[in-house]
Structure 1
Amino acid sequence: MITSKQKSFLRSEAHHLQPIFQIGKSGLTDAIIKQIEEALEARELIKISVLQNCEQNKEEIAEVLGQQAGLEVVQIIGKTIVLYKESAEKKKIVLP
């Protein structure tokens, strides 16, 4: 679990990032979850965009992703979800 100060730091780091995944009509599938976990291992901090035609709402998607081991939902803003997971091998972000 990360603190509110760490979340604030991660939000500022994520501000300039572009979403690298889009969740659409098919919703959140196991394949997408696996790709998100791989991207988090490489980058540690990513944004996901939830499209309008997605049948799940953004809170449901964030809850499912938040249940994955070690994965933290940093922020939900608009249709964008910011995720963080500390990398085991390529640690880039040092939390305060």
Structure 2
Amino acid sequence: MATAVTLSNKQKQYLKGLAHPLKPVVLLGANGLTEGVMAEIELALTHHELIKIKVPEEERELREQIYATILAHTEATKVQVVGKVLTLYRPSPAAKIQLPRR
């Protein structure tokens, strides 16, 4: 498996711009981070490359742990976290998003 991509600030800014109008595609429910949710995230990343995940967990430490788990399992790159929404990027073999050069 590939490791997470390292993004330059310029690339992160570009992805934040692309992510701005997006709605979260995965919403963690009352059951938290289940295998089903992880499978959904994998599918969304493969299909879209850039996704948002809403983690409605009130406790900040717990939310951070959930983010870390998602990042470790998907090997995606964290673009940003705004409130309770995590934005992830993982290039797919189709390379739909053309990143600006560093």
TM-score range relative to shorter protein: 0.7 to 0.9
Provide structure 1 residue ranges, at least 5 long, that are not aligned to the other structure.
none
Matches within 5 A, 1:1-96: 1-52=6-57, 57-88=62-93, 90-96=94-100
Aligned residue identity for 2:98: V
- Secondary structure of 1:24's counterpart equals coil
**Between the two proteins, what is the percent identity of the paired residues?**
37
TM-score (norm 2): 0.81
* C-alpha separation in 1, matches of 2:57 and 2:34: 17
* C-alpha separation in 1, matches of 2:96 and 2:44: 13
RMSD of the TM alignment (CA)? 1.9
Runs (4+) of structure 1 exceeding 4 A deviation are none
Provide structure 2 residue ranges, at least 5 long, that are not aligned to the other structure.
1-5
The alpha-carbon deviation at position 58 of structure 1 amounts to: 2.4
* C-alpha separation in 2, matches of 1:59 and 1:5: 25
How many residues align? The count is 94
Question: What do the CA deviations read for 1:17-37 (whole angstroms, capped 9, x no partner)?
Answer: 011111122111122111101
TM-score (norm 1): 0.85
Aligned residue identity for 1:14: A
